[in-house]
Structure 1
Amino acid sequence: MELDKILSQGLSSWNIDITENQQNNFKIYMDTLLEYNKVMNLTAIEDPEEIYTKHFLDSLSCLLVDELKTVGLKAIDVGTGAGFPSIPIKIMRPDIKMTMLDSLNKRINFLKEVGARVGLDNAEYLHSRAEDAGSNPKYREQYDIVLSRAVASLPVLLEYCSPFLKKGGYFICQKGPAAKSEVEQAKKALAVLGCSLEYIKEIDIPYTDLNHNILVIKKISNTPKNYPRKAGKPSKEPLI
């Protein structure tokens, strides 16, 4: 299937329109991803159609969440890796002020190159561990939205991500079929970190058999000062 149609028809099924310029930016993104993937580990998916479905459309499913529809949001993608979901979202929603955080500088350099090639404005590329940036007053409790498609368990992700959220902000977390059991596992973390699960949105990704879940978690009180704990501690001793 033509790559343009995968995006245009897939997004149309979600009542989202895409421009020719945005289509071109996704092609540039894919080409840059495949170019850099030859020399560094960015993605195990190298088939163009699968990049469009399993990376681009999957990332863009976040746009179906009502909390992301406000204009001019300030967002951060924690553990962004190769830029998912932040860069696809930023291409479609240039009004969002997007910070992309990753602990590996070579990935940050890749993201800067993508941003330069597709002309991303209001984008920040942050080389840091989540635990360190979340304790920094420049970033702590400064964001309306935190995004994550990272593979850590929900209790760990909550400790990484919730410190960045303003009170009243939302953590939009992409998870697979085990999302509901992860929420059960994260009850303590939610309570300790001042968060509350608002709802789970089930998503079918067009042209795949993937059934994903988006967790929408609200920050209801400020993060206690002793969180996040020092680098490495959240993953070694999760709040469960």
Structure 2
Amino acid sequence: MFHVEHIESEDLPDAARTIFGDRLELAAKYHLSLATDGVERGLIGPREVPRLWERHLLNCAVIGELIEEGESVVDVGSGAGLPGIPLAIARPDLRITLVEPLLRRSVYLAEFAESVGLDILVVRGRAEQPGVIKEVGGADVVTSRAVAPLEKLARWSIPLIHEGGRMLAMKGSSAAEEISRDRASLTRMGAGKLEIVECGVDLLPTPTTVVRAERVSRRSHRR
């Protein structure tokens, strides 16, 4: 059973209406689901509830700035649906697949999507499994948030995108250090054009930091 939230203007960050537009009520349902069902199922810590909007929903949704209209997106290690669900709410033009290995999490994701009519696909499995690669590979974009160190994340993400596709890894203050440490390994995997970008600069108090890489031919060794 998913709860229905009545939206109170004073409860919303200013950026929420800008980012979610006419799908704000759907975003509010997800917010309430995380604050209730998500906490009860152990998907979100109780201490995160007061900052769900800014730290989670808005922080995730703004990475849509880096994704072109109509692209296919695979969200690796989706957990409670971050960043995949906020992105799907803010950008209904995208074709989004959530990949999550844990049963209780994948069940939650599928139940929530069905309950609100959100058009996403939930795949239970690990990103590196051949069956998952076969099912969702060839995507335009792979997203992730707090899943793994950059080198391991690239090993999972790069096989899921076509040549020219992008890996968008949400990272914090460690982004530059991880790129410096792992650049050679990522280049060997075919992850080139590494850069750090910020999303939501004009909307959020703290912009979202993303490591962006493009899948390139391993023979080219471009960076």
The two structures have a TM-score, normalised by structure 2, of 0.84
Residue 23 of structure 1 deviates from its aligned partner by: 1.2
Contact 2:31–2:57 (CA<8 Å) still a contact in 1? no
Contact 1:58–1:205 (CA<8 Å) still a contact in 2? no
Residue 17 of structure 1 deviates from its aligned partner by: 5.0
Give the AA of the match of 2:15: G
**CA offsets 1:12-63 (integer angstroms, 9 cap, x no match):** 7xxx55334x111112112222232343221125555400000011101202
User: Is 1:132 aligned to 2:129, yes or no?
Assistant: yes
Q: Which residue of 1 aligns with 2:88?
A: 90
* 1:196–1:27 CA distance, 2 compared to 1 (3 A): same
Give the AA of the match of 2:33: T
Distance 1:26 1:46 in 2: 20
Residue 198 of structure 1 deviates from its aligned partner by: 4.0
Distance 2:127 2:193 in 1: 21
Q: Which residue of 2 aligns with 1:19?
A: 21
Give the AA of the match of 1:60: A
* Structure 2 counterpart of 1:184, from 165, 169, 180: 180
Contact 1:75–1:147 (CA<8 Å) still a contact in 2? yes
Residue 150 of structure 1 deviates from its aligned partner by: 2.6
Q: SS where residue 94 of structure 1 aligns? A: coil
Aligned residues: 210
Contact 1:45–1:51 (CA<8 Å) still a contact in 2? no
* Structure 2 counterpart of 1:10, from 7, 11, 15: 15
Contact 1:3–1:52 (CA<8 Å) still a contact in 2? no
Runs (5+) with no aligned partner, structure 1: 224-240
* 1:72–1:64 CA distance, 2 compared to 1 (3 A): closer
Q: Which residue of 2 aligns with 1:166?
A: 162
Runs (5+) with no aligned partner, structure 2: 1-8
Identity %: 26
Residue 179 of structure 1 deviates from its aligned partner by: 0.4
Residue 189 of structure 1 deviates from its aligned partner by: 2.3
Distance 1:46 1:205 in 2: 27
Contact 2:19–2:90 (CA<8 Å) still a contact in 1? no
The two structures have a TM-score, normalised by structure 1, of 0.78
Q: SS where residue 25 of structure 2 aligns? A: helix
Contact 2:78–2:98 (CA<8 Å) still a contact in 1? yes
Alignment of 1:73-152 (within 5 A): 73-121=71-119, 123-133=120-130, 136-140=133-137, 142-152=138-148
* 1:92–1:169 CA distance, 2 compared to 1 (3 A): same
Q: SS where residue 146 of structure 2 aligns? A: coil
* 1:159–1:195 CA distance, 2 compared to 1 (3 A): same
Give the AA of the match of 1:18: F
